[in-house]
Protein backbone atom coordinates (compact mmCIF):
# COMPACT_ATOMS: atom_id res chain seq x y z
CA UNK A 1 0.00 0.00 0.00
CA UNK A 2 1.47 3.43 -0.90
CA UNK A 3 2.65 5.65 1.93
CA UNK A 4 2.65 9.00 0.14
CA UNK A 5 1.08 11.91 2.04
CA UNK A 6 -2.64 12.29 1.38
CA UNK A 7 -2.45 16.07 1.09
CA UNK A 8 -0.08 18.66 -0.36
CA UNK A 9 0.68 20.28 3.01
CA UNK A 10 -0.35 18.23 6.06
CA UNK A 11 1.68 20.40 8.44
CA UNK A 12 -0.25 23.57 7.58
CA UNK A 13 -3.60 22.36 6.20
CA UNK A 14 -5.36 22.54 9.57
CA UNK A 15 -3.85 25.94 10.39
CA UNK A 16 -5.26 27.46 7.21
CA UNK A 17 -8.59 25.65 7.42
CA UNK A 18 -7.96 23.20 4.59
CA UNK A 19 -7.85 19.96 6.57
CA UNK A 20 -11.24 18.86 5.19
CA UNK A 21 -10.49 20.18 1.68
CA UNK A 22 -6.94 19.01 1.10
CA UNK A 23 -7.85 15.33 0.56
CA UNK A 24 -10.22 16.44 -2.21
CA UNK A 25 -7.35 17.98 -4.19
CA UNK A 26 -4.56 15.68 -3.06
CA UNK A 27 -2.33 13.71 -5.41
CA UNK A 28 -4.43 10.64 -4.65
CA UNK A 29 -7.60 12.56 -5.50
CA UNK A 30 -5.98 13.56 -8.79
CA UNK A 31 -5.25 9.92 -9.61
CA UNK A 32 -8.81 8.95 -8.71
CA UNK A 33 -10.26 11.65 -10.93
CA UNK A 34 -8.01 10.74 -13.87
CA UNK A 35 -9.08 7.12 -13.61
CA UNK A 36 -12.73 8.13 -13.27
CA UNK A 37 -12.46 9.96 -16.58
CA UNK A 38 -10.84 6.96 -18.25
CA UNK A 39 -13.60 4.69 -16.98
CA UNK A 40 -16.24 7.08 -18.31
CA UNK A 41 -14.50 7.25 -21.70
CA UNK A 42 -14.68 3.48 -22.07
CA UNK A 43 -18.32 3.49 -20.96
CA UNK A 44 -19.16 6.13 -23.55
CA UNK A 45 -17.29 4.11 -26.18
CA UNK A 46 -19.80 1.31 -25.67
CA UNK A 47 -22.52 3.53 -27.11
CA UNK A 48 -20.69 3.96 -30.42
CA UNK A 49 -19.58 0.35 -30.73
CA UNK A 50 -15.94 0.90 -29.78
CA UNK A 51 -16.17 -1.21 -26.61
CA UNK A 52 -18.46 -3.77 -25.02
CA UNK A 53 -20.25 -3.71 -21.67
CA UNK A 54 -17.80 -6.37 -20.45
CA UNK A 55 -14.91 -4.13 -21.51
CA UNK A 56 -16.37 -1.25 -19.52
CA UNK A 57 -16.66 -3.43 -16.41
CA UNK A 58 -13.10 -4.69 -16.83
CA UNK A 59 -11.71 -1.15 -17.15
CA UNK A 60 -13.71 0.01 -14.12
CA UNK A 61 -12.41 -2.91 -12.03
CA UNK A 62 -8.80 -2.29 -13.02
CA UNK A 63 -9.16 1.44 -12.37
CA UNK A 64 -10.53 0.74 -8.90
CA UNK A 65 -7.48 -1.33 -8.02
CA UNK A 66 -5.08 1.28 -9.42
CA UNK A 67 -6.83 4.07 -7.51
CA UNK A 68 -6.23 2.20 -4.26
CA UNK A 69 -2.74 0.88 -4.89
CA UNK A 70 -0.88 3.29 -7.17
CA UNK A 71 1.67 5.43 -5.33
CA UNK A 72 1.49 9.08 -6.50
CA UNK A 73 5.27 9.29 -6.24
CA UNK A 74 5.64 6.34 -8.59
CA UNK A 75 3.26 7.86 -11.12
CA UNK A 76 4.98 11.21 -10.79
CA UNK A 77 8.34 9.70 -11.63
CA UNK A 78 6.87 7.95 -14.66
CA UNK A 79 5.14 11.18 -15.76
CA UNK A 80 8.34 13.17 -16.13
CA UNK A 81 9.20 11.68 -19.52
CA UNK A 82 5.94 12.67 -21.20
CA UNK A 83 5.23 15.83 -19.22
CA UNK A 84 1.95 14.68 -17.67
CA UNK A 85 0.70 11.72 -15.61
CA UNK A 86 -1.95 10.56 -18.09
CA UNK A 87 0.53 8.91 -20.46
CA UNK A 88 1.96 6.43 -17.93
CA UNK A 89 -1.42 6.02 -16.21
CA UNK A 90 -3.04 4.87 -19.45
CA UNK A 91 -0.21 2.38 -19.94
CA UNK A 92 -0.67 1.04 -16.41
CA UNK A 93 -4.44 0.84 -16.84
CA UNK A 94 -4.14 -1.06 -20.10
CA UNK A 95 -1.73 -3.48 -18.47
CA UNK A 96 -4.12 -4.14 -15.58
CA UNK A 97 -7.31 -4.43 -17.64
CA UNK A 98 -8.62 -7.80 -18.79
CA UNK A 99 -9.79 -6.31 -22.09
CA UNK A 100 -8.21 -5.14 -25.34
CA UNK A 101 -5.91 -2.14 -24.99
CA UNK A 102 -7.98 -0.30 -27.60
CA UNK A 103 -10.94 0.11 -25.23
CA UNK A 104 -8.90 2.31 -22.87
CA UNK A 105 -8.49 6.05 -23.64
CA UNK A 106 -10.68 5.78 -26.75
CA UNK A 107 -10.12 8.74 -29.08
CA UNK A 108 -8.75 10.87 -26.25
CA UNK A 109 -5.60 12.87 -25.75
CA UNK A 110 -3.84 13.48 -22.44
CA UNK A 111 -5.22 16.99 -22.12
CA UNK A 112 -8.78 15.68 -22.43
CA UNK A 113 -8.25 13.53 -19.36
CA UNK A 114 -6.27 16.11 -17.36
CA UNK A 115 -8.71 18.95 -18.02
CA UNK A 116 -11.77 16.84 -17.31
CA UNK A 117 -10.25 15.45 -14.12
CA UNK A 118 -9.46 18.99 -13.01
CA UNK A 119 -13.09 19.95 -13.60
CA UNK A 120 -14.21 17.02 -11.46
CA UNK A 121 -11.85 18.00 -8.64
CA UNK A 122 -12.98 21.62 -8.87
CA UNK A 123 -16.65 20.71 -8.79
CA UNK A 124 -16.27 18.52 -5.71
CA UNK A 125 -13.97 20.83 -3.83
CA UNK A 126 -16.00 23.83 -4.94
CA UNK A 127 -19.09 22.29 -3.40
CA UNK A 128 -17.31 22.16 -0.06
CA UNK A 129 -16.16 25.77 -0.48
CA UNK A 130 -19.76 26.80 -1.10
CA UNK A 131 -20.73 25.08 2.14
CA UNK A 132 -18.13 27.09 4.06
CA UNK A 133 -19.17 30.35 2.40
CA UNK A 134 -22.78 29.60 3.25
CA UNK A 135 -21.89 28.94 6.88
CA UNK A 136 -19.85 32.13 7.10
CA UNK A 137 -22.67 34.13 5.51
CA UNK A 138 -25.15 32.61 7.93
CA UNK A 139 -22.99 33.67 10.86
CA UNK A 140 -22.69 37.19 9.44
CA UNK A 141 -26.48 37.30 9.01
CA UNK A 142 -26.97 36.31 12.63
CA UNK A 143 -24.64 39.09 13.76
CA UNK A 144 -26.38 41.62 11.53
CA UNK A 145 -29.78 40.59 12.87
CA UNK A 146 -28.73 40.55 16.51
CA UNK A 147 -26.91 43.89 16.34
CA UNK A 148 -29.13 45.59 13.78
CA UNK A 149 -29.41 48.74 15.91
CA UNK A 150 -26.33 48.44 18.12
CA UNK A 151 -24.49 51.77 17.71
CA UNK A 152 -20.80 51.86 16.93
CA UNK A 153 -18.36 54.19 15.26
CA UNK A 154 -17.78 53.84 11.53
CA UNK A 155 -14.17 54.23 10.47
CA UNK A 156 -12.94 55.62 7.16
CA UNK A 157 -9.29 55.81 6.13
CA UNK A 158 -8.41 54.47 9.57
CA UNK A 159 -10.11 57.34 11.41
CA UNK A 160 -13.38 57.66 13.29
CA UNK A 161 -16.07 58.96 10.91
CA UNK A 162 -19.80 58.85 11.78
CA UNK A 163 -22.03 56.61 13.87
CA UNK A 164 -23.30 53.40 12.31
CA UNK A 165 -24.42 50.08 13.76
CA UNK A 166 -22.56 46.85 14.20
CA UNK A 167 -25.36 45.24 12.27
CA UNK A 168 -24.62 47.48 9.30
CA UNK A 169 -20.97 46.42 9.36
CA UNK A 170 -21.95 42.74 9.56
CA UNK A 171 -24.37 43.33 6.68
CA UNK A 172 -21.45 44.40 4.48
CA UNK A 173 -19.73 41.13 5.35
CA UNK A 174 -22.91 39.25 4.53
CA UNK A 175 -23.41 40.94 1.17
CA UNK A 176 -19.85 40.23 0.04
CA UNK A 177 -20.09 36.59 1.06
CA UNK A 178 -23.46 36.18 -0.68
CA UNK A 179 -22.05 37.74 -3.85
CA UNK A 180 -19.03 35.43 -3.72
CA UNK A 181 -21.25 32.40 -3.23
CA UNK A 182 -23.34 33.29 -6.28
CA UNK A 183 -20.27 33.90 -8.47
CA UNK A 184 -18.61 30.65 -7.47
CA UNK A 185 -21.79 28.64 -7.85
CA UNK A 186 -22.19 29.94 -11.43
CA UNK A 187 -18.59 29.09 -12.26
CA UNK A 188 -18.91 25.58 -10.83
CA UNK A 189 -22.19 24.89 -12.62
CA UNK A 190 -20.58 25.83 -15.94
CA UNK A 191 -17.56 23.52 -15.58
CA UNK A 192 -17.47 21.56 -18.86
CA UNK A 193 -16.18 18.24 -20.05
CA UNK A 194 -13.07 18.26 -22.24
CA UNK A 195 -12.94 15.82 -25.14
CA UNK A 196 -11.42 16.67 -28.48
CA UNK A 197 -8.69 14.20 -29.31
CA UNK A 198 -5.21 14.99 -30.50
CA UNK A 199 -5.96 18.25 -32.32
CA UNK A 200 -9.43 19.08 -31.04
CA UNK A 201 -11.28 17.71 -34.07
CA UNK A 202 -12.57 14.42 -32.56
CA UNK A 203 -11.24 12.71 -35.67
CA UNK A 204 -10.52 9.44 -33.89
CA UNK A 205 -14.20 8.91 -33.08
CA UNK A 206 -15.80 10.53 -36.12
CA UNK A 207 -18.60 10.50 -37.15
CA UNK A 208 -19.75 9.97 -33.56
CA UNK A 209 -17.51 12.52 -31.86
CA UNK A 210 -20.14 15.06 -30.83
CA UNK A 211 -22.45 12.40 -29.44
CA UNK A 212 -19.51 10.80 -27.66
CA UNK A 213 -18.43 14.08 -26.02
CA UNK A 214 -21.96 14.89 -24.86
CA UNK A 215 -22.45 11.42 -23.44
CA UNK A 216 -19.15 11.69 -21.58
CA UNK A 217 -20.23 15.01 -20.06
CA UNK A 218 -23.53 13.53 -18.92
CA UNK A 219 -21.84 10.51 -17.35
CA UNK A 220 -19.49 12.70 -15.35
CA UNK A 221 -22.09 15.27 -14.39
CA UNK A 222 -20.25 18.09 -16.15
CA UNK A 223 -21.61 20.66 -18.56
CA UNK A 224 -21.60 19.81 -22.24
CA UNK A 225 -19.12 21.89 -24.22
CA UNK A 226 -20.01 23.30 -27.67
CA UNK A 227 -16.50 22.40 -28.81
CA UNK A 228 -13.19 21.30 -27.27
CA UNK A 229 -11.63 24.11 -25.24
CA UNK A 230 -8.02 22.96 -25.32
CA UNK A 231 -6.79 26.49 -26.01
CA UNK A 232 -9.87 28.47 -24.96
CA UNK A 233 -9.29 28.60 -21.22
CA UNK A 234 -12.36 30.52 -20.10
CA UNK A 235 -13.64 27.63 -17.93
CA UNK A 236 -10.38 27.75 -15.98
CA UNK A 237 -10.02 31.54 -15.84
CA UNK A 238 -13.67 31.97 -14.87
CA UNK A 239 -13.23 29.51 -12.01
CA UNK A 240 -10.00 31.15 -10.86
CA UNK A 241 -11.62 34.59 -10.93
CA UNK A 242 -14.59 33.35 -8.89
CA UNK A 243 -12.23 31.86 -6.32
CA UNK A 244 -10.39 35.18 -6.18
CA UNK A 245 -13.68 37.02 -5.57
CA UNK A 246 -14.52 34.56 -2.80
CA UNK A 247 -11.14 34.99 -1.14
CA UNK A 248 -11.58 38.75 -1.20
CA UNK A 249 -15.06 38.48 0.31
CA UNK A 250 -13.59 36.34 3.09
CA UNK A 251 -10.59 38.58 3.68
CA UNK A 252 -12.65 41.74 4.32
CA UNK A 253 -14.50 40.54 7.46
CA UNK A 254 -11.38 38.70 8.61
CA UNK A 255 -9.41 41.96 8.47
CA UNK A 256 -12.18 43.82 10.33
CA UNK A 257 -12.23 41.19 13.08
CA UNK A 258 -8.45 41.28 13.46
CA UNK A 259 -8.45 45.07 13.83
CA UNK A 260 -11.51 45.25 16.08
CA UNK A 261 -10.00 42.62 18.38
CA UNK A 262 -6.93 44.80 19.02
CA UNK A 263 -6.38 45.47 22.72
CA UNK A 264 -6.83 49.22 22.26
CA UNK A 265 -10.15 48.75 20.43
CA UNK A 266 -11.49 45.58 22.03
CA UNK A 267 -14.84 45.57 20.26
CA UNK A 268 -14.90 41.87 19.39
CA UNK A 269 -13.24 38.63 20.41
CA UNK A 270 -13.34 35.09 19.10
CA UNK A 271 -14.93 32.24 20.97
CA UNK A 272 -11.67 30.26 21.06
CA UNK A 273 -8.83 32.76 20.83
CA UNK A 274 -5.28 31.59 20.44
CA UNK A 275 -2.55 32.21 22.96
CA UNK A 276 1.10 33.09 22.61
CA UNK A 277 4.17 30.96 23.18
CA UNK A 278 5.77 33.84 25.08
CA UNK A 279 3.02 36.21 26.26
CA UNK A 280 0.35 34.61 28.50
CA UNK A 281 -1.91 37.66 28.37
CA UNK A 282 -2.54 37.50 24.63
CA UNK A 283 -5.84 36.37 23.10
CA UNK A 284 -5.22 36.32 19.38
CA UNK A 285 -8.14 36.12 16.90
CA UNK A 286 -6.48 33.12 15.29
CA UNK A 287 -9.36 31.99 13.09
CA UNK A 288 -9.64 35.41 11.45
CA UNK A 289 -5.86 35.68 11.19
CA UNK A 290 -5.64 32.29 9.48
CA UNK A 291 -8.50 33.12 7.12
CA UNK A 292 -6.76 36.35 6.17
CA UNK A 293 -3.44 34.57 5.69
CA UNK A 294 -4.91 31.90 3.39
CA UNK A 295 -6.84 34.50 1.38
CA UNK A 296 -3.71 36.66 0.97
CA UNK A 297 -2.10 33.93 -1.14
CA UNK A 298 -4.99 33.72 -3.59
CA UNK A 299 -4.56 36.83 -5.82
CA UNK A 300 -1.10 35.77 -6.96
CA UNK A 301 -2.42 32.37 -7.96
CA UNK A 302 -5.32 33.96 -9.83
CA UNK A 303 -2.80 36.11 -11.67
CA UNK A 304 -0.83 32.98 -12.60
CA UNK A 305 -3.94 31.35 -14.06
CA UNK A 306 -4.86 34.48 -16.01
CA UNK A 307 -1.32 34.80 -17.33
CA UNK A 308 -1.59 31.28 -18.73
CA UNK A 309 -4.62 32.02 -20.92
CA UNK A 310 -2.59 32.57 -24.11
CA UNK A 311 -2.59 28.96 -25.30
CA UNK A 312 -1.13 28.84 -28.77
CA UNK A 313 -2.78 27.16 -31.77
CA UNK A 314 -4.56 23.83 -31.05
CA UNK A 315 -2.54 22.70 -28.02
CA UNK A 316 -0.29 24.75 -25.74
CA UNK A 317 3.27 24.00 -24.74
CA UNK A 318 3.69 25.17 -21.15
CA UNK A 319 0.70 27.39 -20.28
CA UNK A 320 -1.55 24.34 -19.93
CA UNK A 321 0.90 22.53 -17.68
CA UNK A 322 1.30 25.62 -15.52
CA UNK A 323 -2.39 25.61 -14.53
CA UNK A 324 -2.60 22.33 -12.62
CA UNK A 325 -0.96 23.17 -9.32
CA UNK A 326 -2.05 26.84 -9.01
CA UNK A 327 -5.71 25.94 -9.54
CA UNK A 328 -5.44 23.09 -7.07
CA UNK A 329 -3.90 25.48 -4.55
CA UNK A 330 -6.61 28.07 -5.26
CA UNK A 331 -9.29 25.58 -4.33
CA UNK A 332 -7.54 24.54 -1.14
CA UNK A 333 -6.67 28.05 0.03
CA UNK A 334 -10.00 29.70 -0.78
CA UNK A 335 -11.88 26.89 0.89
CA UNK A 336 -9.59 27.00 3.89
CA UNK A 337 -10.03 30.74 4.25
CA UNK A 338 -13.82 30.41 4.11
CA UNK A 339 -13.70 27.58 6.64
CA UNK A 340 -11.67 29.61 9.12
CA UNK A 341 -13.82 32.71 8.67
CA UNK A 342 -16.95 30.66 9.35
CA UNK A 343 -15.39 29.54 12.64
CA UNK A 344 -14.44 33.11 13.52
CA UNK A 345 -17.85 34.65 12.84
CA UNK A 346 -19.87 31.80 14.34
CA UNK A 347 -18.11 32.30 17.67
CA UNK A 348 -17.67 36.07 17.56
CA UNK A 349 -18.37 37.98 20.78
CA UNK A 350 -19.42 41.60 20.31
CA UNK A 351 -18.48 43.81 23.26
CA UNK A 352 -21.13 46.51 23.35
CA UNK A 353 -19.42 48.35 26.21
CA UNK A 354 -16.33 48.79 24.03
CA UNK A 355 -18.48 49.93 21.10
CA UNK A 356 -20.03 52.59 23.36
CA UNK A 357 -16.67 53.63 24.76
CA UNK A 358 -15.10 54.09 21.35
CA UNK A 359 -18.16 55.86 20.03
CA UNK A 360 -17.80 58.44 22.82
CA UNK A 361 -14.03 58.73 22.42
CA UNK A 362 -14.03 62.07 20.62
CA UNK A 363 -16.49 63.77 22.93
CA UNK A 364 -19.04 64.16 20.17
CA UNK A 365 -16.66 65.37 17.48
CA UNK A 366 -17.83 62.60 15.16
CA UNK A 367 -21.22 64.34 15.11
CA UNK A 368 -19.71 67.68 14.11
CA UNK A 369 -21.53 67.47 10.79
CA UNK A 370 -24.88 67.81 12.58
CA UNK A 371 -23.63 70.61 14.82
CA UNK A 372 -22.33 72.59 11.84
CA UNK A 373 -25.72 72.31 10.17
CA UNK A 374 -27.58 73.53 13.27
CA UNK A 375 -25.07 76.25 14.10
CA UNK A 376 -25.12 77.60 10.55
CA UNK A 377 -28.66 78.77 11.21
CA UNK A 378 -27.19 81.31 13.64
CA UNK A 379 -23.69 82.24 12.38
CA UNK A 380 -21.91 82.43 9.05
CA UNK A 381 -18.66 80.76 10.17
CA UNK A 382 -20.19 77.63 11.71
CA UNK A 383 -17.80 75.28 9.89
CA UNK A 384 -14.74 77.18 11.16
CA UNK A 385 -16.02 77.28 14.74
CA UNK A 386 -16.84 73.59 14.91
CA UNK A 387 -13.62 72.61 13.13
CA UNK A 388 -11.55 74.65 15.59
CA UNK A 389 -13.30 72.99 18.52
CA UNK A 390 -12.81 69.51 17.10
CA UNK A 391 -9.13 70.07 16.28
CA UNK A 392 -8.43 71.54 19.74
CA UNK A 393 -10.17 68.65 21.47
CA UNK A 394 -12.84 70.83 23.04
CA UNK A 395 -16.12 69.02 23.58
CA UNK A 396 -18.70 70.49 21.24
CA UNK A 397 -21.21 70.94 24.06
CA UNK A 398 -18.63 72.93 26.04
CA UNK A 399 -17.32 75.38 23.44
CA UNK A 400 -18.79 78.81 24.31
CA UNK A 401 -18.95 79.82 20.65
CA UNK A 402 -21.34 76.93 20.13
CA UNK A 403 -23.26 76.97 23.43
CA UNK A 404 -23.97 80.66 22.97
CA UNK A 405 -26.33 79.75 20.12
CA UNK A 406 -27.38 76.16 20.79
CA UNK A 407 -29.03 75.29 24.13
CA UNK A 408 -28.04 72.23 26.15
CA UNK A 409 -31.08 70.17 25.24
CA UNK A 410 -30.58 70.79 21.52
CA UNK A 411 -26.88 69.96 21.74
CA UNK A 412 -27.66 66.77 23.66
CA UNK A 413 -29.96 65.71 20.86
CA UNK A 414 -27.45 66.69 18.18
CA UNK A 415 -24.69 64.72 19.90
CA UNK A 416 -26.76 61.59 20.46
CA UNK A 417 -25.23 59.01 18.07
CA UNK A 418 -28.44 56.97 17.99
CA UNK A 419 -30.15 59.92 16.28
CA UNK A 420 -27.67 60.01 13.38
CA UNK A 421 -27.62 56.48 12.09
CA UNK A 422 -29.17 57.36 8.76
CA UNK A 423 -30.57 54.25 7.08
CA UNK A 424 -28.20 51.85 8.86
CA UNK A 425 -31.00 49.62 10.14
CA UNK A 426 -32.85 49.75 6.82
CA UNK A 427 -29.69 48.62 5.03
CA UNK A 428 -29.37 45.71 7.44
CA UNK A 429 -32.93 44.69 6.64
CA UNK A 430 -32.23 44.89 2.91
CA UNK A 431 -29.13 42.71 3.22
CA UNK A 432 -31.00 40.16 5.34
CA UNK A 433 -33.95 40.05 2.94
CA UNK A 434 -31.58 39.50 0.04
CA UNK A 435 -29.74 36.77 1.90
CA UNK A 436 -32.90 34.95 2.90
CA UNK A 437 -34.30 35.32 -0.61
CA UNK A 438 -31.25 33.59 -2.09
CA UNK A 439 -31.23 30.73 0.42
Question: What is the per-residue pLDDT for 421?
Answer: 94
Q: What is the pLDDT of residue 365?
A: 85
Here the CATH number for the domain that contains residue 388 is 1.10.40
Assigned domain for 103 exists: no
The span from the CA of 85 to the CA of 208, in Å, is: 27
The Cα–Cα gap between 75 and 26 comes to 14
Q: Are 132 and 276 contained in the same domain?
A: yes
Determine contact, residues 121/57, Cβ cutoff 8 Å.
no
**Residue 266 falls inside a structural domain:** yes
Note whether 270 and 157 are within 8 A (CB): no
Last residue of one domain, picked from the residues 328, 351, 374: 351
Q: Where are the beta strands (DSSP E) in 217-287?
A: 268-269
Q: Are residues 381 and 330 in the same domain?
A: no
Residues 402 and 267 in one domain: no
**Do 343 and 362 belong to one domain?**
no
- Does residue 296 have an active-site annotation? no
Q: Examine residue 100 and state whether it is found in any structural domain, yes or no.
A: no
Residues 339 and 378 in one domain: no
Catalytic residue among 315, 357, 401, 434: 315
Q: What does the pLDDT read at residue 424? A: 97
The residue among 351, 374, 403 that closes a domain is 351
Among candidate residues 91, 132, 68, 155, the one with its CA nearest the CA of residue 331: 132
- Catalytic site residue from 186, 224, 272, 276: 276
The three-state secondary structure class of 151 is strand
pTM: 0.93
Q: Are residues 296 and 372 in the same domain?
A: no
Cβ atoms of residues 103 and 55 within 8 Å? yes
List CB contacts of 335: < 8 A, sequence separation 6 or more: 17, 18, 21, 125, 128, 129, 132
Residue 69 forms part of a structural domain: no
Q: Is 433 part of any domain?
A: yes
Do 160 and 285 lie in one domain? The reply is: yes
Q: Cα separation of 23 and 7, whole Å? A: 5
Q: Are residues 304 and 337 in the same domain?
A: yes
pLDDT given at position 325: 95
| Residues paired with residue 160 on neighbouring β-strands, in sequence order | 155
> Is residue 315 among the annotated active site residues?
yes
Same domain, yes or no: 197 and 298: yes
Considering the domain architecture, whether residues 299 and 400 belong to the same structural domain is answered as no
Round to whole Å and give the CA distance between 194 and 222: 9
Report yes or no on 211 lying in a domain: yes
Range of the domain at 264: 108-351
Same domain, 204 and 219: yes
Q: What is the mean pLDDT of each run of 10 residues along the chain (439 residues)?
A: 54 88 94 98 97 98 97 96 97 96 98 98 97 98 98 95 96 98 98 97 97 98 97 98 98 98 95 56 82 96 97 95 96 96 96 95 87 94 93 90 94 90 97 91
Q: Which of 351, 384, 401 is the last residue of a domain?
A: 351
Position 126 in a domain: yes
Asked if 366 and 340 sit in the same domain, the reply is no
**Pairwise CA distance, residues 165 & 360, whole Å:** 14
The CATH number given to whatever domain includes residue 327 is: 1.20.200.10
Total domains in the chain come to: 2
Angle between helices 298-307 and 286-296 (to 10 degrees): 20
Residue 95 lies in a domain: no
Amino acid sequence: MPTSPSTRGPLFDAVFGADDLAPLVSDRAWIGALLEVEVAITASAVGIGRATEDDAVAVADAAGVLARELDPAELGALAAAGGNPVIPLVKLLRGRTCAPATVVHVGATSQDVMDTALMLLARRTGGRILDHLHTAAGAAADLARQHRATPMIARTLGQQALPTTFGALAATWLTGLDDAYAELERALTALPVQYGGAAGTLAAVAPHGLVFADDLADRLGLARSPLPWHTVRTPVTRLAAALGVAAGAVSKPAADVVLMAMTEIGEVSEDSPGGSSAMPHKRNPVAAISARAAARRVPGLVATILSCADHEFARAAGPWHAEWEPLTDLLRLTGGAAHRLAASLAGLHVHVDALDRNLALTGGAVLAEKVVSALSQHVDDALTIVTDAAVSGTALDEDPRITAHLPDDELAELLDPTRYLGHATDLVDRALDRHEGSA
